[in-house]
Structure 1
Amino acid sequence: MQTRRVGHSGLTVSRLGLGTMTWGGDTPTSDARAMLRAFVEAGGTLVDTAPAYGHGAAEKIIGKLIHTDLRRDDLVIATKGGFGVHNGRRSINTSRGALLDDLTASLRRLHTDHVDLWQVHAWGDAPLEETLAALDHAVGQGMARYVGISNYIGWQTARAATWQQAVPGRNPLVSGQVEYSLLARRAEIEVLPALRAHGMGLFPWSPIGRGVLTGKYRSGTPRDSRGASDHFNWFVEPYLESKSRAITDAVVRAAEGLDLSPEQVALLWVRDAPVVTAPLLGARTADQLKPYLELDERELPEPIVTALDDVSGGTNQLRAMPTAGDD
């Protein structure tokens, strides 16, 4: 698998990442092991996780597998801090103490002395300078090699990046992680331009439109899908409306003409979009992951890219912007 540099940093990752949100829940350890093995065998390196995924179960699975199935150096491990679920309620705490406690616990579960990329999971109420000081401390102590942010909107991204760039010695933010797909292009308005302006890479989550762009919801909700589950139906439901259906239909038609599956078309559109470093794949089984790992030599023809742009919201203005420094 080809690699890309994360923004303007020295960190290099595979141009597809493996997401682990369902690990320890819908994805048992046996399926996680099969996916991680297939991913690494295909040349994948980037594995994205978080303490919130399975209440720490995803990190524990990775920690076990890098001692039983893989070498630590085979992976670029990215995790997060500042977000969790406590007593059934979502909780955001981006204070210095909470973040560093999260990282310490992550390292323990991962059975490693450092993570390659540590990200603030969400914007919080703590003073921004305190949150970012925790990132500097983590790098200074060798607990993290690089730092980034997740789910920040445009002005938050620009403010945080500017703060880190203002004084020599602070560690620059190298990446941002937000939802981005043919069904979710809002990031193009402010987030992606901010990332580009500050030399940061993008890790899009849900590049297949929360599974809707596979086309499997066109005639109803399959029983074995996320949309049919009690704990994930809220995640899929926003994209089961007429506009999303029209975009999905266009993806299906493009796939038929290119001898690809709809999910492969959807992924290629995201993978090769401006600013993107590596889409994060949310597959739940090795069979779901396999089609994405077969795309390293494939690209969408420009007319198809333009047609998908048009049907999903219009021209991607970032394609016309200068690309100096992009990878």
Structure 2
Amino acid sequence: MNKTLQVHFALFIVSFIYGATFIIAKEVMPVYIKPYGFIVIRVWGAALLFILMSKVSGGVSQPIEKKDYKLLFLSAVTGVGANMLLFFQGLSLTTPIKAAVEMVCTPLFVALLAFWVLKEKVTVLKIGGLILGLSGAVFMILWPDFSLSGGTVLGDIYVILNAIIYAYYLIIAKPLIQKYQAIHIVKWTFILGAVLVFPFGITDILKVDWLHIPYSIWIAIIFVIVCTTFLTYLLNGWALKYVNSSVVGAYIYLQPVLASIIAIALGKDEITLQKFIFAAMIFAGVYLVSLRPKVAVAN
């Protein structure tokens, strides 16, 4: 298998794991472990795995320059701390399919932040895509009664906020990944993230009835630590060495498809016409935002 196929296969595995996580994580929380407590377990477990991986890989540890400390800390806040806390809290309060579709808004927020932070050129297509995609997200959140008192509204808002923060992480983390070894940056991001999430989840951890957690839930917890967190970060970091971040980001579109297939197959969720229409609006908006203007060629 050539390198290109290896990269795309790795990215497909990442999407499949993320798609499955929307269903698997909800089996754990909030019944057995509250969301913030689950995040502490997830981040601390993954941090230990990354430290171990860094030791056994035999690579030379690169000292991080002082001027990059702020960026590394921001990466920990946006890529681990706030991002994961909001996502699991939101996922515990909404449905797997809605959460998966709402996460597709990430490229929309990347484009929006690129206009603001990177001063990228604003085009009519991008503005139209943002309006269409974000409208789809708003309808997805407020349906069916278009009020803020719906059963999943708060969870949907958390997931959208997570998408915004993760979009910012994608913009600020790329220079660090390019400058240092991916495993080195991810390791320190999770070490800092472990410290950040601890105060939020320690109370939930102390309330867990560990002796009465079923084996199936233990398997789900291990899956989230090893596969959803450790393996996906390794595979994404490795893929970024060979392809642009836009290629890695494009695989996010597979997640709601895979999550929907898994959720429906297991009877955990259903697709309605309204969900399909709002999802189509989001996908169309992302497509318009991703279009690049044609460059005129002189005769």
- Structure scoring higher RCO (CA < 8 A, sep ≥ 6) equals 2
State the TM bucket, normalised to the shorter chain. under 0.3
Higher strand proportion: 1
TM-score (norm 2): 0.26
